Amino acid sequence: MKAVFIDNYGGTENLRYGDAPTPEPKPDEVLVKVEYAGLRWGDVMARNGVPSRARPTPFVGGQEATGIIESVGHEVRGWKKGARVMVMPFGGAFAEYIAIHPSRLLPVPDKVPLEQMLAYPVNMRTAYYMVYTWAKIREGDRVLLHAAAGGVGLITLQILKRRFKDVSVVAIASTEEKLKLLKAEGADHVINRKTQNYVDEVLKIWGPKATGFAAGGEQSGGVDVSFNGVSGDTLSTDWQVIRKRGRWVIYGFSAGRGNLDTSKFGYDGITVMPFSSIAWFGTPEFAEATAFIQEWLETEALIKPEIHPLADMQQVQQAFEAGNTTGKVVFKV
């Protein structure tokens, strides 16, 4: 079968589209014929060996795919050949077949196309926790959303604009095409991070924030919440637009680790909220997020992903890392 290998940890030159043996499922596994595989920032991290290089190279990459169950091991209960499923392995999804334990399977609802399903189980879970569980967004909040046209960003915007009446969003992205999409999705304001200084722009939109001994905060300018999945230089600037007692959710490092100096904004009482979905495994909120996603899949217009051939993995990951992809990116396998 065809698969995409990570030959060594590092840049995209280490990705190889080649031949691999079709996996033999164990008695407690199912074999899934993959139709589509999804790309996430987690794939860039895995390729770079972040957070761990424990896995010996070469190995087949990919952490999410959708497809059809081809065969079922004799110890497996509750799954049938022909079922439409999403698989969430720790690797091996960039391939024509994957053998996997049923604990890493999700059913795909009949009405949801396999390529569209990929946008939800991980990205929407992340967005759900950030909006409801962690930042506890309220009506009237003003929100700054970095990488708003990305996988997690676009879904976060959709939740904020479809499930709240009075949440204002300033959305950041790097191309005019993405800004157009964000406007169409309801963003109140958009900023091109390549051509504009986002701190200046936010303060122009919502006015200067109260700092130091100035009373109040809620009534001043700036934003109530920043959702920041990019970090890098923005860890030195976001606090300049987050109002007193505001919330700063930091959930990713697409632009690098950055440097967070809390002495700059200590008097503003901003709550820094590092976030990872992993922190909610096995909690009641996990079940709440699952129910939210199921309801959304049943009732809402779903994201149409960018679709590329699996063989183009190298170029597509380059574009993804350069910020030149929009929304969810998937591969036809």
Side-chain-side CA neighbours of residue 192 (13 Å):
12
C-alpha span between 44 and 38 (Å, rounded):
12
Q: Side chain identity at 284, as an amino acid letter?
A: P
**229 near ligand NAP (CB under 6 A):** yes
Angle separating helix axes 41-48 and 313-321, nearest 10 degrees: 100
Q: Out of 149, 170, 171, 210, name the contact with ligand NAP by CB under 6 A.
A: 149
Report CA-CA distances (Å) from 179 to 99, 131, 228: 40, 22, 17
Distance of closest approach, residue 55 Cβ to ligand NAP, in angstroms: 18
Question: Pairing between strand 168-173 and 189-192?
Answer: parallel
Shorter beta-carbon distance to ligand NAP: residue 149 or 167: 149
C-alpha span between 304 and 117 (Å, rounded):
10
Distance of closest approach, residue 255 Cβ to ligand NAP, in angstroms: 3
C-alpha span between 62 and 118 (Å, rounded):
12
Shorter beta-carbon distance to ligand NAP: residue 57 or 276: 276
Distance of closest approach, residue 287 Cβ to ligand NAP, in angstroms: 17
Shorter beta-carbon distance to ligand NAP: residue 30 or 179: 179
Q: Out of 198, 265, 275, 296, name the contact with ligand NAP by CB under 6 A.
A: 275
Shorter beta-carbon distance to ligand NAP: residue 63 or 210: 63
**174 near ligand NAP (CB under 6 A):** yes
Shorter beta-carbon distance to ligand NAP: residue 44 or 83: 44
Asked if residues 103 and 121 have their Cβ atoms less than 8 Å apart, the reply is: no
Q: Which stretch binds ligand NAP (CB under 6 A): 19-27, 76-84, 137-145, 227-235?
A: 227-235
Distance of closest approach, residue 1 Cβ to ligand NAP, in angstroms: 26
Q: Which stretch binds ligand NAP (CB under 6 A): 50-58, 95-103, 119-127, 289-297?
A: 119-127
At a CB cut-off of 8 Å and minimum separation 6, what does 97 contact? 1, 22, 23, 31, 32, 33, 34, 70
Q: Token pair for residue 53?
A: 């290089």
Q: Name the residues that contact ligand NAP, by CB under 6 A.
A: 40-41, 122-123, 126, 147, 149-153, 173-174, 178, 193, 229-230, 232, 251-255, 275-277, 321, 323
